[in-house]
């Protein structure tokens, strides 16, 4: 099976550039790799992403997971005619992270005409599981500008 991306390759640089002024950029998220059917990002565990007790905020993990699922799903559709929006996300927070970076890797479980389901694993710098998440997205007609 070949790459799942519309146009053949994942637009890594384009997504990072577009995200700089959004939540992704404010939290320091950066997509760092993409394969034929997966994408990987990193996010710092710092004052932007920690809760008051010094641990990675669960909401920051969920934001990373949904970012990966949304950007992955969007990269599979024709951006001239379709958009992708989140419908549901769940997350199990398995282990705390206190510093450094966490890494999220997203893979599709199902790519349908109107819905997609993605699984996202977030690990720390030692490769230990921090959070596991699943996100369901709707594929919709692109809104008229």
Are the beta carbons of 117 and 136 closer than 8 angstroms? yes
Angle, vertex CA 49, rays to CA 72 and CA 68, nearest 5: 5
Q: What percent of the chain has pLDDT over 70?
A: 99
Topology annotation, domain 12-141 = Thiol Ester Dehydrase; Chain A (3.10.129)
Q: How confident is the model at residue 144 (pLDDT cuts 50, 70, 90)?
A: confident
Q: Active site residue: 30, 33, 47, 66, which one?
A: 66
Q: How confident is the model at residue 143 (pLDDT cuts 50, 70, 90)?
A: confident
Task: Please confirm, yes or no, whether 66 is among the known catalytic residues.
Answer: yes
The whole-model pTM stands at: 0.96
What residue ranges in the chain does DSSP mark as E strands?
30-34, 39-44, 82-93, 101-111, 115-123, 129-141
- Over residues 61-114, the pLDDT tens digits come to 999 999 999 999 999 999 999 999 999 999 999 999 999 999 999 999 999 999
Q: Helix %, strand %, coil % for the chain, to 5?
A: 20, 40, 40
Site of tokens 């990193």 = 42
Contacts of 22 (CB under 8 A, 6+ apart): none
* Three-class DSSP labels, 92-118: EECCCCCCCEEEEEEEEEEECCCEEEE
């Amino acid at each position: 099976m070949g790459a799942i991306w519309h146009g053949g390759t994942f637009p890594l640089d384009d997504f990072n550039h577009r995200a700089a002024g959004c939540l992704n950029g404010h939290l320091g998220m950066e997509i760092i790799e993409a394969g034929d059917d997966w994408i990987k990002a990193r996010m710092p565990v710092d004052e932007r992403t920690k809760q008051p007790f010094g641990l990675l905020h669960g909401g920051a993990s969920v934001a990373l997971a949904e970012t990966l699922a949304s950007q992955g799903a969007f990269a599979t559709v024709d951006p001239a005619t379709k958009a992708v929006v989140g419908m549901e996300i769940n997350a199990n927070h398995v282990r705390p992270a206190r510093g450094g970076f966490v890494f999220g890797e997203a893979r599709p479980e199902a790519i349908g005409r109107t819905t997609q389901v993605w699984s996202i694993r977030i690990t720390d710098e030692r490769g230990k599981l921090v959070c596991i998440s699943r996100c369901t997205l709707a594929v919709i007609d692109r809104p008229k500008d």
